[in-house]
């Protein structure tokens, strides 16, 4: 069974909607979720998710507030919850303190695109292990086989394979890069491979998961939260249409 991972930005459309969105994702049948920590300079993200970050910060979202919201849904939302963010706000919060809070509120994994692998190995991997928090590195079609294997060896739960070298939600992303997907499938990686960036519908999801174990949908879902007054029914229908 291929895994569906839905991304959304915390604190969108309104500050207190985080728990509601998380519950909806679980109730609609997704296998796991990525919750974006709003940041003023989200370099890996395209315009839609950048807009979501700006709105969430305007709404007053902070890491401390997010942990409060996650604590409130710890017992009701039980599918894996992964936090995705950038290293600066995490360091400001205190890396070990952040991991400790993740464990307390039921967060099972982290994705920090701008944390270098050598720093992870030298400094942060042991802290993540101490608090039993998984970590997923990103690879792209340009990543060498040697480096893919190295990043896979450092990752736990899944390896995040970016569909093409672009930002999230890029309409020009090459979604079905067969040579790349074949290469990943041939490497006998330790972790399941999840494909992200550019998946907009069921056809896209089925296409990328022919050779990977899961797909990550972010921009198409966040767009619904930003643009629809009755986002709850729209978002539920969207997830159900993928599965």
Residues classed as catalytic: 34, 45
Q: Which helix (H) or strand (E) holds 34?
A: strand 32-36
State the Rg of the chain over Cα: 17
Of 239, 229, 221, whose CA–CA distance to 48 is shortest?
221
The residue written with tokens 């967060």 in the block is 107
Tell me the C-alpha to C-alpha distance, in Å, between residue 76 and each of 3, 4, 84, 206, 239: 20, 19, 21, 29, 19
Closest to 83 (Cα-Cα) out of 61, 98, 68? 98
Q: Regarding beta strands 134-135 and 109-111, do their DSSP bridges make them parallel or antiparallel, or are they unpaired?
A: parallel
Q: In what order do the strands lie in the sheet with 109-111?
A: 134-135, 109-111, 81-84, 32-36, 3-9, 214-217, 193-196, 159-162, 138-139
Q: How many angstroms separate the CA atoms of 151 and 193, rounded?
A: 12
> What would the two tokens of residue 20 be?
């509601």
């Amino acid at each position: 069974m291929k895994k569906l991972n839905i991304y959304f930005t915390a604190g969108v459309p309104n500050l207190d909607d985080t728990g509601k969105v998380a519950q909806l994702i679980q109730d609609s049948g997704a296998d796991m979720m990525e919750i974006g920590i709003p940041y003023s300079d989200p370099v890996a993200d395209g315009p839609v998710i950048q807009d979501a970050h700006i709105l969430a910060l305007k709404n007053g979202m902070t890491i401390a507030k997010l942990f409060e919201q996650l604590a409130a849904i710890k017992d009701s939302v039980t599918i894996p919850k992964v936090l995705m963010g950038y290293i600066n706000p995490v360091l400001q919060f205190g890396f070990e303190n952040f991991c400790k809070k993740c464990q307390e509120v039921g967060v099972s994994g982290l994705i920090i695109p701008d944390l270098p692998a050598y720093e992870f190995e030298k400094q942060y991997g042991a802290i993540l292990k101490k608090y039993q928090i998984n970590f997923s590195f990103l690879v792209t079609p340009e990543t060498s086989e040697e480096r893919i294997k190295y990043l896979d060896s450092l990752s736990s739960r899944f390896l995040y394979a970016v569909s093409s070298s672009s930002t999230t939600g890029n309409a020009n992303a090459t979604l079905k890069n067969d040579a790349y997907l074949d290469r990943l499938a041939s490497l006998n990686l330790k972790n399941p491979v999840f494909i992200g960036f550019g998946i907009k519908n069921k056809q896209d999801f089925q296409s990328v998961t022919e050779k990977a174990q899961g797909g990550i949908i972010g921009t198409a879902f966040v767009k619904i939260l930003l643009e629809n007054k009755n986002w709850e029914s729209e978002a539920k229908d969207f997830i159900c249409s993928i599965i």
